[in-house]
Structure 1
Amino acid sequence: MNRPAVPFTLPKRLGVVGIILAVIGLLLLSIVFGSWYTVDQGERGVKLRYGAVVGIAEPGLNFKIPFVDTVRQISVQNQAIVYERVEAYSKDQQPATLRISVSYRVPEASVEELYSQYGTIDKMVERLISRKVPDEVKNVFGRYTAISAIQDRTKFGMDVNEALKKAVTGPVVVDSVQIEEVIFSDAYEQSIEKRMMAEVEIQTKRQNLETERINAEITVTQAKARADSALAQAQAEAEAIRVRGIAEADAIKARGEALRQNTGIVALTQAEKWNGVLPTTMVPGGTVPFLNVRANTQGE
């Protein structure tokens, strides 16, 4: 016995319609919201249509065709990559391990070229920069001895920077290369330390010798100054004596000349200085000193 067919009820119809409307709504929402996208200020968007590049999107809000267009974000900001262990040999065959950082960026005008040739920044860095760094570092480091690489660290870094910039060509710009660390073997580090200590000792001795030389020059200069002073004083004294002698000789000469011209001045001087007392003792036949009395009688 066959059952009668159950008629399609209204609630079931409404349920199917609701599902269809929901699917359509979701489809419309995906179309609306999938048509707009944003690009950050430090990036550029590579717009693809069925996999082919059709343009570069600038920062801000942009439109694309849903289900047809896709966008790949490429950073144009400055980035850095660090190479921890780059091995190289110096000019004097000393092995070293270097730690190097490379700062780079993708120019805005090269975004399409980068994506077309490499797809991503990482692949570009691997092929253009990472392959060049070891070779360029080895070439430059090989022109320096171990000592000069340390003493001329700034120049060494500048040479590596210039060499890598010339070697890397493509949709990327190498802004700078920094030599962050140079590590030699323990044995060589110890030999450098001993050499530096020896050089410090030599420099100390040189400074001491220079100090002694300066002190000796000061002593000689002071002695010469004292000698010059003593000589000048002696010369001054000799000159004073000479002048006094000349003055005394001139005085004696003048006095002698005066005595010759005035014979009585001697007797006058003796008389002026005689105290009027005669000697108590006289030698027989001697004369009385300072006494020359002329007799003066009347009638003469």
Structure 2
Amino acid sequence: MRLMCRHYLFTECLPMSAKNLSKIILPVVIVLAVLIVVLNSYTVISPNERGVKVTLGQVEGGVLQPGMAFHAPFVTVIRKFRLEPKTYEVSFSCGADGAITKDMQTVGSTVAVRYVYDENRIMDIVTRYLNDSVIQSAMRDNVKASLKETVGQYSIYDLVEKQNEVTGKVAQAVLDRMVDYPIAISQTTITNWDWSDDFDKQIKETANRAQEVKKAEQDLKLTQTNAQKKVAEAQASKDAAELTAEAELIKAQKEAEAKMAEADGIAYYNAKISQNMTIQREQWQHDEQMAYYEKWDGKLVPTYIPLTAAGGVVNLPSASSGAR
């Protein structure tokens, strides 16, 4: 009786547990399904991206700008294209794949092309090209063709000396060949030039000879500079001597002029003193004359008796004898 009761309870409880479980699972499945549908109904486009909506292989609308783009779930795909610079490198070996110069030398190199998608031609990428690999494949072929075409215009020695010119021509050739593709090429550089070991040896020997020639030129310039320095020093000494002599001459002339001025001053001083003495002497004579006149009583001396130095009387001739 107890076993039968237990069996009854188990059979009663089992349907109740499955029913409760189904009530829990069904809402969870619905929520998950809705969540999956919602998550597949929009795409976020970053600021440096642009998008194109493709539904079952057909392009819809125009280029999608940054932001949230809603679309039908599962059947619509948003293809996104990043508008950031990319670098594509193409390497050439020095062997059979290398470029041949004008003098029949084989060279290799690495060409790096920096480009970005043309925002105005995003639709062309989707409608005309499957993906970016098609553009890169075209770029690889065009870069090789541009390099080989340009290298064939130069000798291997010219490539060494005119690398900037060669790079510029290759860059222009790549631009011309890729003009129909929806990309904007901003820079093309050529690095890692490679050539045969024999030519590499020749370059080193040429560089050594060039260094020797340059050293000889520098030594010659040094000798010329020293000679010019000595000439300049001699000329400076000569100029200094001439300036010293000229200064001494000017000094002597100035001293002579000073002495002449001093002599003129002394002569003028003496003349003034002599003039003053003459004036003084005349003044003394005048004073003596005035003193004589003051003491004169108005009478003339009647007879003038001349005397000799010894005190004797001098006999003067008479007026009649003098007239005779």
* TM-score (norm. length: structure 1): 0.65
* Residues 1:190 and 2:201 are matched in the alignment: yes
Residue in 1 that maps onto 2:119: 108
Q: 1:49 aligns with which of 16, 41, 55?
A: 55
Q: Which amino acid is 1:71 matched to? A: I
Which one of 91, 96, 103 corresponds to residue 92 of structure 1? 103
The alpha carbon displacement at 1:175 in A equals: 1.4
Structure-1 separation of matches of 2:133 and 2:30: 40
| Alpha-carbon distance between aligned partners in 1 of 2:228 and 2:184, rounded to the nearest angstrom | 61
- Deviation, 1:113, is 0.9
What SS does the aligned partner of 2:154 have?
Answer: coil
Query: In the alignment, residue 66 of structure 1 is paired with which amino acid?
Result: P
More helix by share: 2
Partner in structure 2 of residue 150 of structure 1? 160
Measure how far apart 1:199 and its partner are. 2.7
Distance 1:9 1:194, change over 3 A: closer
| AA in 1 matched with 2:79 | R
Q: Quick one: which amino acid aligns to residue 176 of structure 2?
A: K
CA distance in 2, matches of 1:155, 1:161: 10
Deviations 1:185-205 (A, max 9, x none): 111011111122223323433
1:21-32 residue pairs with structure 2 within 5 A?
21-32=27-38
Work out the number of aligned pairs and report it.
Answer: 222
Q: 2:151 — aligned with what? A: 141
Aligned to 1:82: 89
Tell me the residue number matched to 1:164: 174
Q: Which amino acid aligns with 1:39?
A: I
Matched with 1:68 is 75
Gaps of 5+ in 2: 1-10, 242-324
Provide the residue aligned with 1:202 in structure 2.
Answer: 213
Q: Post-superposition shift, 1:72?
A: 1.6
How big is each residue's C-alpha offset from its partner over 1:24-68, in whole Å with a ceiling of 9 and x where there is no partner? 222211222222220122222221112211133221222112233
How far the C-alpha of 1:214 sits from its partner, in A, is 6.5
TM-score (norm. length: structure 2)? 0.60
8 Å Cα contact 1:74/1:120 also seen in 2: no
Whose radius of gyration is greater, 1 or 2?
Answer: 2
CA deviations on 1:192-250 (whole Å, 9 max, x unpaired) are: 11122223323433444555567667878969x98xx9xxxxxxxxxxxxxxxxxxxxx
